[in-house]
Amino acid sequence: MPGIDINYFIRQANKLTEKIEQRKKALAEETLEGNAGGLVTAVVNGVQELKSIRIDPKALEGGDRAMLEDLVVAAVNQAMENSRTRMKQELEKVSGGVKIPGLT
């Protein structure tokens, strides 16, 4: 088609891909937390990798293993949701608010 510069679109797509990759690298350095009952804290990075779990010694006093397991799951789920939300926000900034399927 006359007047359409396909190379321009390819360059723009490559620039967008580069920006997305840079932002993902930066997100991998950020940490987000999830907390459950004030007793368990899960720490993840911005690309949903679990980095650590902190358990308050008080959570171990009762000896209720099932409760502790539930708290760990809840804290990890909250941290992961916080991370997904953060990633979505950052990638939407990079894409100019355009929601690109498969990015998050």
Distance CA 3, CA 25 (A): 37
Q: Taking the complete model, does pTM exceed 0.85, yes or no? A: no
Identify the burial level of 103 via C-beta atoms within 10 angstroms of its C-beta, where 0-12 means exposed, 13-18 middle and 19 or more buried.
middle
CATH architecture of 6-94: 2-Layer Sandwich (3.30)
Hey, where are the domains in the chain?
6-94
Per-residue pLDDT of the chain (104 residues; tens, 9 = 90+): 567 889 988 998 888 889 889 999 999 999 999 999 999 999 999 999 999 999 999 998 888 999 999 999 999 999 999 999 999 898 888 877 776 666 65
CA distance 38 to 91: 31
